Every structure is written in C-alpha cells, then in structure tokens.
C-alpha cells in the first residue's frame, strides 16, 4: 500500500511536468497532452485525467469522451505482458479474428483492458508491417508468427508459466 502511494506521487509529478509544458486553459492541446501522458505512464489514469481537467479547465467527462473516441488511448496500466494483435488486412484474411476471440476468452479481457492480476493487457492494432508472418501478434515486442486459435493458448501459457 505504502509503495503504491509512493508511486502515485511520482506519477503525479510526471504529469505535472508534462502539463507545465502546455499553457493553462488551452483546450486545443488536449490530444498532445494525453499522448504525452500515455507515453510516460503507458495509460491514462483517473488522477492524471483529473489533473488535465484542472489544467486545461475542461470537464473530465469531455476529456474522457474525446479520449475514448480515439483507439490509441487506454485507461488501464499495461499488464506485465502486453499482447498486441494485428488486425491489418493480411492478418484479418488469415484468421486474426479467431485468434482475437481466443485471446479474449483466454485472458478474459478485451482490447484496451488489463487482467485483474496485472499479468496481461491486450490491444488490437492496425497493420504492424509484418504481413509475411500473418496472423501475427507481438507480446512485449516479441513477435509470434502464423498464430492460430490453437497455438495462441500455448503461447500465453508459456508466459504464464514464467511466473
């Protein structure tokens, strides 16, 4: 608990640093501000959105509305293993949606979410330029090629077993 609180403080100062780079009350900077925060924190926490709301003088509901409009923002911290599944054309044609379904079932969360134990997070991404490997997923930057509904189970289990 104590530790969490500490990391909260650290995070807030980082958000502060980001906000200091943008003038107060200038709502047109919303997207870059959110991008910067996500870049540093990996996600948009409730506290950071509220901090942005105070700085830009913009209701939190509006910020949340804008942020959920774009796929790029997430509201849960990344899991220990961040699974990115490509849904570009090649992957789609070769069965990415079956893989996606299987991942959702296996870890129990949808794109943009993180498992309760913090082990996995998942994100659907547009073409990652590895069409030769389709359907492809990347876990913490490591690519897994020609994934199927069957093989994905094994891949995820391997990560689980490392714990």
- Binding segment toward another protein, per CB under 8 A, in 16-24, 48-56, 81-89, 150-158: 48-56
Q: Are strands 120-125 and 81-86 parallel, antiparallel or unpaired?
A: parallel
Token pair belonging to 151? 């093989």
The distance of closest approach from Cβ of residue 58 to another protein in the complex, given in angstroms and rounded to an integer, is 9
- Smaller CB distance to another protein: residue 61 or 162? 61
If one asks whether residue 93 binds another protein (CB under 8 A), the answer comes out as: no
Tokens coding 16? 């502060």
Residue with smaller CB distance to another protein, 75 or 143: 75
CA distance 67 to 110: 17
Q: Which one of 29, 35, 53, 98 is in contact with another protein (CB under 8 A)?
A: 53
| DSSP 8-state class, residue 21 | T
- Residues numbered 59-88 forming contacts with another protein, rule: CB under 8 A: 59-65, 68-69, 75
Show the tokens assigned to 108: 């129990």
Q: Does 25 bind another protein (CB under 8 A)?
A: no
Cα(82)–Cα(78) distance, integer angstroms: 6
């Amino acid at each position: 608990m104590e530790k969490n609180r500490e990391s909260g403080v650290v995070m807030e100062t980082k958000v502060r640093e980001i906000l200091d780079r943008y003038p107060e009350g200038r709502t047109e900077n919303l997207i870059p501000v959110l991008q910067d925060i996500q870049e540093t924190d990996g996600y948009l926490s409730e506290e950071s959105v509220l901090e942005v709301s105070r700085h830009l003088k913009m209701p939190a509901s509006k910020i949340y509305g804008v942020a959920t409009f774009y796929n790029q923002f997430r509201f849960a911290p990344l899991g220990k293993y961040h699974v990115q599944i490509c849904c570009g054309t090649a992957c789609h044609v070769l069965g990415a949606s079956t893989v996606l379904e299987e991942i959702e079932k296996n870890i129990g969360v949808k794109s943009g979410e993180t498992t309760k134990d913090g082990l996995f997070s998942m994100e659907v991404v547009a073409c990652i330029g590895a069409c030769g490997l389709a359907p492809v997923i990347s876990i913490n930057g490591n690519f897994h090629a020609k994934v199927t509904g069957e093989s994905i189970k094994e891949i995820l289990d391997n990560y689980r077993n490392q714990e």
